[in-house]
């Protein structure tokens, strides 16, 4: 399925997510890794689970649009893809975890990046933490 538009690539280690640009707020460079236990910041593991602390190297932070919690999500890389043409492919059902916030992927720079919406990623990560 071809997609055309503005997207943001978010990297957390080997995990690569592609979300519509309108769902990601202004990015900022933190200069240093957030302190452990600072509830203003959140980070995903490569397995899309919420981490207890931001790992070294997570210096780019951005809020998800429409999220009124004030949480800034920390990433290794945040890259805006203006006017991108992406070819979305379905992830086979047998490879998906229950309640997974992704169902499609694209190939970007020779790697797999999962298509998702920011709201679903945040919900999934927060639910996993409270489970």
pLDDT digits (tens, 9 = 90+) for 66-81: 777 888 999 999 999 9
Please tell me the predicted confidence (pLDDT) of residue 131: 46
Q: Is the predicted pLDDT of residue 128 greater than 80, yes or no?
A: no
Average of per-residue pLDDT across 58-65: 91
Strands 72-75 and 41-43: parallel
Which residue from 114, 130, 120, 119 is spatially nearest to 46, judged by alpha carbons? 114
Local confidence band at 118 (pLDDT 50, 70, 90 cut-offs): very high
Task: Give the pair of three-digit tokens for residue 71.
Answer: 């949480």
pTM: 0.89
Please tell me the predicted confidence (pLDDT) of residue 100: 82
Give me the sign of the Cα torsion angle 126, 38, 59, 65.
Answer: positive
Please tell me the predicted confidence (pLDDT) of residue 114: 95
Question: Which is more confident, 95 or 11?
Answer: 11
What range defines the domain where residue 116 resides? 2-130
Among 4-8, 35-39, 101-105, the range scoring the smallest mean pLDDT is: 35-39
Instruction: State the total domains in the chain.
Output: 1
């Amino acid at each position: 399925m071809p997609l055309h538009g503005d997207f943001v690539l978010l990297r957390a280690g080997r995990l690569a997510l592609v979300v519509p640009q309108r769902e990601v707020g202004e990015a900022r460079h933190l200069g240093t890794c957030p302190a452990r236990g600072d509830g203003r910041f959140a980070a995903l593991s490569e397995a899309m689970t919420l981490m207890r602390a931001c790992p070294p190297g997570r210096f780019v932070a951005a809020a998800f649009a429409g999220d009124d919690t004030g949480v800034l999500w920390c990433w290794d890389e945040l890259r805006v893809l203006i006017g991108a043409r992406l070819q979305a492919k379905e992830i086979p059902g047998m490879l998906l975890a229950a309640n997974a916030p992704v169902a499609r992927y694209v190939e970007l720079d020779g790697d797999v990046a999962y298509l998702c919406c920011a709201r679903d990623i945040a919900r999934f990560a927060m639910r996993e933490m409270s489970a």
